[in-house]
Amino acid sequence: MVRSMIAGVAGLRAHQSKMDVIGNNIANVNTWGFKSYSYNFKDSMYTNSINSSGGSVLAGASGGRNASQVGYGSQLSSISNVFETGAPSPSSREMDCMIDGTGFFLVGGMVNGSFNNVADSGLYLSRVGIFSVDENGYLVDDQRSYVYGYAVQEGTGTPEQPATAASKKYAEVPINLTFGDATRPTKPTKIDINGIAVDLSGNVQSESDIQEAVQEWIKYVSNTNNQDTTANPQPNPLVPETYAKVKIDFNNIDSRTANATGGYDWTVSLTVTSVNTGVNSMQDVDGIGTLSATSEDTPGTTWQPGVPAVYSDQLSTIQIPTDPVTGLPYELTSYRITENGTVTGVDKQNRAIVLGKVALVAVENPNGLEKTNGYYYTIGENAGAVTHEEAGAQPIGIIKGSYLEMANVDLANEFSNIITTQRGFQANSKIITVTDEMLQELVNMKR
């Protein structure tokens, strides 16, 4: 009778362990990329009440006999992951992504240089693609781990360089104000910059007024109707035709100083940009003359074609590349991830900049992976061959941008498992109770 109690206790432990697994599955029903677990029983050890024996066909001999065995309950056989792809859940983040297939992302701490051996890299595998770009321009996940893939080879992946116009930024451009006429004897009536005088529509008494005056001058000289295109230039206020080749922008007031008349002498900052592009466009800027001695030149450039990206065949971190023109990382405003794992950003000139390609890892035996904190897996000894590949091939799968993988927990199945597990637990506890009553009867017999 003690054996039945041992079997009941073993059954209680096994069913409690199964309930632990079910509870963990249900607790993670909304965990991105979670893979549910299945609990498997096996019967425990046995003792032979009667051993088996073989039969004999000789005269007077007996036939064979089967063994008679008594078991000691149930115990854990295995707890297995169900690596079935979860349903896609739309995300508003462009850098969120999921794997529609059997592959894994490769993430972890910084590994200097490139490598091919995933198993010995010390990195983790993940099914959750909550990615972003950190302050150093590296692609990382929300656990601050670097995301590994195929970097763009140096000298490739550069976008086209559009032709640019030459410009010159002038500082401390002097302004001459003309005072006095029959209607406004003490008020400024004209503004003169670079020898071109323009009538003012209002008074100049403050910094905002001088800004408006400068804007009036810019509007006047930019109007082609006021530009002299004849062979014999007319008197002022006609503007030299060289002004038709440039665009002038007001930047800011540089300074103001009191003068002998009780007013102020103003200087401003202006930017003159050619309306043409290319290396010769500086001639247009120089054609209007020198507005001041203090200037900063930006030469024009010609159009340069882009170079298609060529990817490394080894793994490394993925980082925003350097602009060969400025020598600084590109300033990107948005990102996207394509089905083959290509990470592309868009810069301020609306050009597509390739950062690299996210790699996927194929595992021969996914159940050989070992779960760690969060949603990471480590590569166990029974995982088999572990290789890296580009997304797109089956069965490793594709990468779906702006989606996250939901947990593959089947709530209906889990709730039915709760019922059967609870009934199994109750039945095993009943075995212990009945066995206890039988032992009590045995004790009472002695009395």
Q: What is the pLDDT of residues 307-321, one digit of tens each?
A: 999 999 999 999 999
Distance CA 39, CA 83 (A): 14
- Residues sharing a CB contact under 8 Å with residue 287, sequence separation 6 or more, in sequence order: 242, 245, 246
Q: What is the pTM of this model?
A: 0.72
Q: What is the pLDDT of residues 169-183, one digit of tens each?
A: 999 999 888 765 545
Q: What is the pLDDT of residues 188-247, one digit of tens each?
A: 778 888 888 888 887 776 788 888 999 999 999 998 888 776 644 555 456 888 898 999
* Burial profile 383-415: b = 16 or more Cβ within 10 angstroms, e = fewer: beebebebbeeeebbbbbbbbbbbbbbeeeebe
Distance CA 159, CA 326 (A): 13
Kindly state the percentage of the chain with pLDDT values over 70: 94
